[in-house]
Structure 1
């Protein structure tokens, strides 16, 4: 067999000569007490977890009544030939011999040769595109335009209907309006609208609101059905749920599934909104199980669950993850990367009075300036552009979006002196009443210190949070991001003097002494060169916040690190030695012994060589 023959079959593949649908009478062999023959079931291999995997390499010859290996017959370079190259016909032990053959080193090398040649010819992972019919009927053309308009509006979340259902009116909504717009450039649609647009009931036009709503429902059903089919084909999946109230004050549970496509790409699909009344872990679990049961998706194939860090979702004992883990021990809980740093920041702010007071000051400052156009102009005119020649105006905090704290703090930090100067101008304005003057004077060293301290932290948090929300984020990167943030926070404990020095330099008019408010407490011991108030800020505020931040991050980091120890090597073959790879693969196979064959370890090692 020369290279031209191999190239020909690499492009054509084994499908044309497998002979899966012929009779197998010629393969019948008589043994001592029974007769055996080749069976169509031999073209599939039953895995340990119950899945059936195609054997694309297996060929059947009607003339000889024997089975052959497509890859070994054409692409093998071995000196010795196996039975599947010369013709296998020992059907009594066919299943065992086929399994032994496809796990042999001889067969795997032949398959690698075939796959490499097939990939070079562009045959792998391609599907023939179905050609559209050259001619379509009149009503098919009408419906094609209707579907396009409905899909366009649905993708963008735009309203379809208006106050009127009549063509020619300006209040007939987006659906009819876009059809009218298209008809200006489409003679076919223009003719149809003129003939059937306002024909009235009893005359079909397929442009009515009823047709529109039917297509919306059909499209939704088709999309949902396709997602469920993909999940079942992938078999293994993970779930992600979260709840939020809608505009009607009904709590809606968002249900999302994540799975792998046949090409190996991760897919994350929204399924539906579910109105809920109870937020307990048991009630949420019952809702999740009900949805999966309705769709025919087996919870036994669930391998992951991802929620925010709320107690009713991620709580070890009473959160949603607990009953899910009890139903299926193989379900791994993954903290939501997008919510992780949000919860870390929120919990850390509430641990210290001075921190809460600082962010209240930031919000009050925004409210104070934004409530008056005159005050807003005074403050804004005094701001200087940043490095990007862009003026950072004052910004409001957000109850749900922690990144807003970074933006608001940065706006105050980079223009601290200018804001102080603008506030002083407002104070000196005799037209302002006493309340406004008192609010304008609300600045002290504690505020400058907190501004410097939190600005440094929040800028790192914002960058890490943005990276953690990336669609292409993988587990190893998430662990590295959270780990680097943990190291950064841990190194801040000895940086009090640096932050204090920077705070005093923020503005020439900033107070050089602390005036700490809050609960009375025992004054800690001071050392030479330290003031009592400085030590109080250090021990009751700075250290408390740093320790709380570190504790919150450690809690999330441990969860990610445990997952990375189990699965991380799958994203980093090049950085793992073969012995270490065998050890990690063996650990993964033993953990998922019902899903992974014993050959998994050797397959992983061979895969490392293949992608090298």
Structure 2
């Protein structure tokens, strides 16, 4: 039987029918999901300040009504509960951590260490306590985070001690991460007996339980003692591999950009004489670098779905990242050294599309410099349109127009009044307001440049402060 005859006996759904079936299936899935209660709806966060979470077996609502006041109090939603739990889970405030940590959380905190959680330079305002028969309140002190080793009489840091700003208390980092279900002031509630702090901290530090916990922490922190040590080693090896490769690729991109070379050719095949400078330079380096040569031989020309970082997508992403970094540096320098001048010039590219080039000139402590900034969006050649493109860029990058001390433009006939009238919008927006600001003579000469506002054909372009 021919395919034609077989197809006559079968009915195939049209594209419209298929779309309707897909939409009905999606609506059904959404209906099932909407009727399913989330796990977080069985929890309620009480606003008692300690972040306690209690489970309720009854009906959980998003609002509760107060009979005495006749008002409706908004309860935290399930999304807010999730965000609070997630925030406290990875908080740098040790007092917000849950008392019972799972293995993943424990490994994460051990790897991060206690340095970011100590808060030894805090103002300790939340730890203020006024004791009976005392006029001034007591609080945590920075001196608690150090101790004097008696045999050597040298001062050492208590790296295990962490201060919680939310609780106003001190915690023992090893006991917090290594013990579960063990009730202790230093692991659950937090220590805040400032009247006897010095003696009790020393007693805890010298206790056998603290030392055993500290030894267990050090053993677990050692990757050789971890159950997943081989996985950690493999991950570090892979990270080092790709980092080394990307460093070489970045150097190829930087060299091509500095020399003004085109990046791509007519194909993207490694080994082809028409693959462009990006792949060509990578092949050249591979002749003298065994690492890059091995990578190209193993991963090049594999097609989509295979990771090689040799494609034009990777190259263009690096170009974009490097360009953004350079632009940020130029803008930062221009703002730092305050006074600058601008130059706008439009030139059609190979596709006959006008590119509006923005150049800025400012004075460094060593010498005046002129930097190409970027190609601006260009809506037209009139004076107002050119000036508006410039003003939009300055506003977007927080560059003050009042600090502009000079400007020059192409398209002299437009700006001199042939098409749009004798107006320069940039002057109207702030240049004349700043004309009376005094500038050192050497900076003024550098900013002004060798010529006034002129174009290639010598026509006068406007005024200069």
Scaled by the length of structure 1, what TM-score is found? 0.32
Structure 1 or 2: more strand by fraction: 2
Structure 1 or 2: more helix by fraction: 1
